[in-house]
Chain A
């Protein structure tokens, strides 16, 4: 089973980024063969629709579960309609988040958070407020 984790860096020792659409990387962990792959999030610098762009990348990777902090309404709708489960996690190392997931300690995210919540902190520099 492939799991994608929104992260600040590109390996298992990086911190999980609680923002979905505006995170730097997705670390993808395959629980069957233990392989790790990381992809740079093309949504981080998007003018708008960051979450949608990020979700498209994850859909293309054939993952079955996503671990992140919060997710906006657009990306959430996409994963719901694609039967991909989204799990909520606090900020911790990606390695630990995956471990928590395997132990069944993570809760499934049932509702989308507010739109544009991941802006600011310098990551959303390219955002123009949708105007």
Chain B
């Protein structure tokens, strides 16, 4: 593996940072499999942005984990000052405040911490307090920095955790293992990305959702390439990529032993056939991302 470590980082200065988002559109195509294995092969830091169900740590087993709470603001209403005028409830775009005859009621899970209610309140009755909605964990797996966000169960809003996770990323190459789909969670992760790897599978659903993901990364004007996971000889993804002029970074062959290694919580690159495929992908990425363009 040594000869491949640094195949990507080689061209980066010590303080430079390159953030590559791994996304898919369709769920279950292998974002985490690709991101964890690429981390190992390219000596890149692994950042699990799928804060609703982060699972990359299972494969990378980082140690010495440090945890930090993620907190968000919510309004506290001083009932002595409040005149029940209802201006705060009217201004709230997220329906988090309701004025009843007796009091103003807050639905804290609907609050986006925008502070509009405080500005609208003529009686200075609103201040803000903080509550914990999740955590950021960081540890080391060998030389790799592994970081993940965790959204508390029952909390509906993942974006504040994703933002906290992606602020102050370490120097070097960071692989951002995104959530499935093309929702706000993925969009907020892409705000921090310099390039993207789209993981898909050769199926009708894989292709359909890949098209959505392609639209999204094109909106961000990011350089990107596609990886076909679970490749079984069906070339529908390659055909689409050719028509759209999208580079295919490589394929991961569909085999039973991949599932066996995965279900034991190990990385695929422990098998030589997969190590070869991932090294090929790492080389493909060199051609796609901009630090190699000059």
Contacts and interface: CB of A to CB of B under 8 A. Distances in A.
Interface in A47-93: 47-50, 52-53, 55-56, 59, 74, 77-78, 81-82
A43 interface: yes
A78 B98 contact: yes
Interface in B170-208: 183-185
Interface of A: 43, 46-50, 52-53, 55-56, 59, 74, 77-78, 81-82, 128-131
Majority DSSP secondary structure for residues of B touching A = loop
B94 A56 contact: no
Contact of A52 (B107, B156, B157, B158): B107
A82 B95 contact: no
Interface of B: 89, 94-96, 98-102, 105, 107, 110, 156-159, 183-185
A128 B158 CA distance: 13
Nearest to B52: A131
A131 B157 contact: yes
3 closest Cβ pairs, A-B complex: A49-B95, A130-B156, A52-B95
A52 B102 CA distance: 16
B95 A48 contact: yes
Nearest to B89: A56
B99 A56 contact: yes
Contacts of A78: 98, 100, 105
Contacts of B156: 48, 130-131
Contact of A128 (B100, B101, B184): B184
